[in-house]
Amino acid sequence: MAFTAAVLLGIAGWRLYPVLRYPYHVKFAKELSLTLPRLYETFGEPDPVRERFYGMALEASRQNWDKVGELAAEDTKTILGSYFFNLANAMRGELGEHLMEHYQPFGYGLFIPVDEQSSVLSIICSDEVWYQLGEMTMAEHNTMLGMIFSPAQSGPRFYRRLAEINLINGDTAAADKYLALLDDTPDDSWKEKRKLVQKSDFVHGAAQIRPVLKGLLESNPENLPAYEYLLCHDLLTKDISAFIQDYVPGRRECRLYQEAALIYMASENIMNPENMSRFGVTEDVWRDFCRYSDIYTEDHGSGKRLSDNFRRTYWYYFHFAKVNEKAQRH
Amino acid sequence: MKKLRDISLTVITALLLYGCSGESPRPSLYPDYREVTVPKNIAPLNFHYSGKGSGRAVTTFVSRDITVRISGKKVCIPPAEWRRLVLSAEDDTIHVHSSIMGDWDIMVSRDTMDRYLTYRLIEPGYEVWNRVEIKERDVASFEERTLSSWENTSNACMNCHIHKGENSMFYLRGSRGGAILSRRGELRKLNLRRDGMISGTVYGDLHPDGRWGVFSTNIIIPGFHTGPGKRLEVFDTASDLCIADFDKNTILTEPSFCRKDFLETFPCFSADGTAVFWCGADTVSIPVEIDKLKYSLYKTPFDTLTGRLGPESELIWDASAHDASVCHPKASPDGKWLVFTVADYGTFPIWHRECDLWIMNLATGSSRRMTEICSPDFQETYHSWSSDSRWLVFASKRDDGQYGKPFICHVDNTGTGGKPFLLPQEDPYLYERTLKSFNIPDLGSAPAAFDSSRTGLLYRGPDAEIFD
């Protein structure tokens, strides 16, 4: 009798242990209308890394940016980790400040690519940035893709987001369809997004990110996250000329942008006090740039010594970050 | 204290929503089958009530001496009872009395609709797919069978199932796919592409005699609108016409239908097979000038002996005169009518809310918007004729703007449509719960001569037949 009870308790403990240890697994499964075994079967056995992924996805959809930032800071070199790290910072108005503090898989850490190589989890999370920036067509498209490729092809996570998007767009009939499928009612945070949506209409390809961000800014110049995403997209794709076109000196004080402006001035051979002032380059940044340039020249382009002191500068990223397509998409 | 305040707020909100009297919303029914004309071979028109008093509703169907009474919000009519009702009401009406919504009639036409409706079940998006299926529904019952399934075709995309008499065709994409042609009971997998064509065949139609197929070849580019609610825009950067000879496995092209400065697409045969209707537009710079892309409608003679198109084409609907764009023409089997889709611009209007069905009298050339069947706010597309030319099925997003559903309407001998009604389902809640669109509904007079297992065998089997 005691033995049977002990065995039963053991089984219960064995089953309950991951549930208690990994609460985000449980919540994420519910959001995707999955049982826990189905979640494990699809995305892998419960572990701390997945717990963090699910946590970032869930907390981001609730706009708990400090929590997202906290979870993302623990990440090591994953696209999803960079994606949520950047999003949390952008929503707190600090994207530029912290961009170089984290692994940056080029532009993929800003906008997750969605194609045949993408993981299901990546696709499910890919709508968040578009929604938060106010681009509802891409947000809806990516939410729909997330739903299509999720194991149950349904779930409150998708219904809620699709309802919010359609409420923002004023498509109440479509919103009603998804609201009717939900047990709960979304809060009113979607109303804040309405002022961000594009007022003009044009047609673009899925990979044409820059014109979409510019369109968002034209519709609402106060959309600071969209502005920072535009600048950081230019910088992470190493498109300095695009950055200079998009950069509005003085709008957003940030060392990263000063560093990029110095690269532009150096490449155009227009480094003079007037331009320093125009791009808001401070004395400190200028001094660091000179030190960086000296070491770079002395070491004949080697990054070994530079990595000690300048690993978190845009100059270092610009010179030494290389695309590792295979590793990035894994 | 906070909990108490929350409860009070909830009560106040509920009162504001439902009125100070505490009444729930007015009763309504879905799908709306009031005052519709139905074919006598339609399945039971099951529906459900919502709102005030729906749980206590009593619905009574009366036709001559037959009475069927159903209690409750879910009104599912037993098939045998429904059959008795429609048979006794042929060319007459079934009178319906609802204890909560009053009275209405259902007109039962003597015209029988083609019994088999095929559609693709797919999430609204159409650019990316996962687990797509083509289904065939017996409209006289609720039986549905799978003609092609993702499960036995390596999750390949599949689309555009079209009927013509006993023959039908659809595309199975993927590495082992092809055009799947069912002709006189024989199932074939065809590679409808030869050197010099810009793509494999895309949109098309089968000739009444079964030997020929007319197709467009298209370079299709998807794009996204930034404007709220406008969603997807799909356009062609090039498109041509060609004819496939299914007897000789050849594809015929004509330079005049393969112009680089002109886009030719959406061809269909006339009812007697002696002409082809198709859409054509001057190329513009896209996507920048997408709103200037406007297709006109043309008619070109077709030689049923040689398979040759032309030489001359007649402009029968001028896009510039209407400042609009036409697509998906389909001729009625009796040769009297041509129904097509009209949008403000472009070539793929499923996300164009302004998109409506138009009808042309082929004897006079006059055309008009089918106002009587089109919704004012949402799009109607992908129509299909019943072989008696008395019924039209089309996909409409009128309910929620998002999901295409198959609506059916009667067309009288003046080309006027009756009130459209939704294809009935055994579960009247199905449309509200489903997350799939009923894409490209197409009517057939006979069941397809294949099922998903045969399709799967064909997919995994030998390579597609080559066409020269």
The H or E element containing residue A19 is helix A2-21
Measured between CB atoms, which of A138, A141, A169 is closest to B229? A169
In a domain, A202, yes or no: no
Same domain, A152 and A33: yes
- Strand partners of residue B327: B341
Measured between CB atoms, which of A173, A181, A203 is closest to B401? A173
Inter-residue contact B81 to B68 (CB < 8 Å): yes
Same domain, A319 and A188: no
* Euclidean distance between CA atoms B245 and B210, whole angstroms: 9
Same domain, A62 and A141: yes
Q: Report the pLDDT value the prediction gives residue B398, as an integer from 0 to 100.
A: 94
Least confident of A131-140, B172-181, B193-202: B172-181
Which residues 6+ apart lie within 8 Å of B58 measured at CB? B69, B70, B71, B98, B99
A–B CB contacts, 8 A cutoff, strictly below:
92
Same domain, A43 and A123: yes
What is the phi/psi pair of residue A104, to 5°? -125, 105
For residue B132, the SS3 value is: coil
In a domain, A85, yes or no: yes
Which chain A residue shows the shortest CA-CA distance from B431? A177
In a domain, A191, yes or no: yes
The pLDDT of residue B315 is above 50? yes
Quick one: average pLDDT of B47-64? 95
Quick one: average pLDDT of A188-214? 91
**Tell me: the pLDDT tens digits for A210-247?**
999 999 999 999 999 999 999 999 999 999 999 999 99
Disruptive mutation site among B131, B220, B226 for chain A (greatest number of A CBs within 10 Å): B226
Is the preceding omega at residue B424 within 30 degrees of 0, hence cis? no
Same domain, A54 and A177: yes
The pLDDT of residue B24 is above 80? no
**Tell me: the pLDDT tens digits for B413-436?**
999 999 999 999 999 999 999 999
Structural domain containing residue A270: 254-330
Same domain, A52 and A166: yes
The pLDDT of residue B277 is above 70? yes
Contact yes or no for A153 and B432 at CB 8 A = no
A126 vs B contacts (CB less than 8 Å):
none
Which chain B residue shows the shortest CA-CA distance from A215? B226
Percent of chain A with pLDDT over 70: 95
Same domain, A125 and A51: yes
B130 vs A contacts (CB less than 8 Å):
148-149, 153
A interface with B, Cβ–Cβ below 8 Å: 135-138, 140-141, 144-145, 147-149, 153-154, 166, 168-171, 173-174, 176-177, 180-181, 197-198, 200-206, 212, 215
The pLDDT of residue B6 is above 80? no
* Euclidean distance between CA atoms B405 and B18, whole angstroms: 30
B432 vs A contacts (CB less than 8 Å):
177, 180
Q: Is the dihedral of CA A202, A203, A206, A211 positive or negative?
A: negative
- Strand partners of residue B243: B214, B252
Which chain A residue shows the shortest CA-CA distance from B229? A169
Same domain, A295 and A175: no
Which chain B residue shows the shortest CA-CA distance from A194? B228
Q: Report the pLDDT value the prediction gives residue A1, as an integer from 0 to 100.
A: 67
Same domain, A43 and A189: yes
Same domain, A153 and A32: yes
Closest by CA position to B339, among listed B371, B377, B367 = B367
User: How far is Cα of residue A147 from the mean position of the Cα atoms in its chain?
Assistant: 19
* Euclidean distance between CA atoms A155 and A240, whole angstroms: 42
Report how many domains make up chain A.
2
Encoded amino acid at B195, one letter: D
Q: Is the dihedral of CA A55, A60, A62, A67 positive or negative?
A: positive
Domain boundary among A151, A175, A197: A197
Contact yes or no for A202 and B232 at CB 8 A = no
Quick one: average pLDDT of B53-61? 95
Contact yes or no for A202 and B287 at CB 8 A = yes
Q: Which domains does chain B have, with CATH numbers?
A: 26-109 (2.60.40), 116-460 (2.120.10.30)
* Euclidean distance between CA atoms A124 and A138, whole angstroms: 13
The pLDDT of residue B7 is above 50? no
In a domain, A208, yes or no: no
Measured between CB atoms, which of B229, B233, B435 is closest to A171? B229
Q: Report the pLDDT value the prediction gives residue A81, as an integer from 0 to 100.
A: 95
A173 vs B contacts (CB less than 8 Å):
399-402
Confidence at B152, pLDDT banded by 50, 70, 90: confident
Encoded amino acid at B50, one letter: S
* Euclidean distance between CA atoms A234 and A79, whole angstroms: 18
Which chain B residue shows the shortest CA-CA distance from A207? B223
Inter-residue contact B267 to B209 (CB < 8 Å): no
Same domain, A164 and A273: no
The interface predicted TM-score (ipTM) is: 0.88
**Tell me: the pLDDT tens digits for A243-292?**
999 999 988 889 999 999 999 999 999 999 999 999 999 999 999 999 99
* Euclidean distance between CA atoms B231 and B119, whole angstroms: 23
In a domain, A221, yes or no: no
Confidence at A14, pLDDT banded by 50, 70, 90: low
How many of the other CB atoms lie within 10 Å of CB of A131? 23
- The first and second tokens of residue A139, run together, are 């947000």
Mean predicted lDDT score pLDDT of chain B: 92
**Tell me: the pLDDT tens digits for A102-129?**
999 988 999 998 888 889 999 999 999 9
The pLDDT of residue B179 is above 80? yes
Q: In chain B, which among 362-401 make CB contacts under 8 A with chain A?
A: 399-401
Percent of chain B with pLDDT over 70: 94
Measured between CB atoms, which of B129, B226, B229 is closest to A204? B226
Q: Report the pLDDT value the prediction gives residue A287, as an integer from 0 to 100.
A: 96
Q: Going along B99-176, which residue ranges are E strands?
A: 102-109, 116-122, 133-138, 144-149, 158-164, 167-172
Q: Report the pLDDT value the prediction gives residue B9, as an integer from 0 to 100.
A: 42
**Tell me: the pLDDT tens digits for B83-101?**
999 999 999 999 999 999 9
Same domain, A52 and A147: yes
In a domain, A18, yes or no: no
Quick one: average pLDDT of B173-187? 91
In a domain, A4, yes or no: no
Contact yes or no for A144 and B229 at CB 8 A = no
**Tell me: the pLDDT tens digits for B232-276?**
999 999 999 999 999 999 999 999 999 999 999 999 999 999 999
Largest separation between any pair of C-alpha atoms in chain A: 87
Quick one: average pLDDT of B283-299? 95
Contact yes or no for A205 and B403 at CB 8 A = no
Model-level pTM?
A: 0.91
Confidence at B74, pLDDT banded by 50, 70, 90: very high
Q: Report the pLDDT value the prediction gives residue A326, as an integer from 0 to 100.
A: 57
Contact yes or no for A203 and B224 at CB 8 A = yes
Contact yes or no for B432 and A200 at CB 8 A = no
What is the rounded radius of gyration, in angstroms, for the C-alpha atoms of chain B?
24
Mean predicted lDDT score pLDDT of chain A: 92
In a domain, A227, yes or no: no
Contact yes or no for B229 and A180 at CB 8 A = no
Greater confidence, B68 or A192? B68
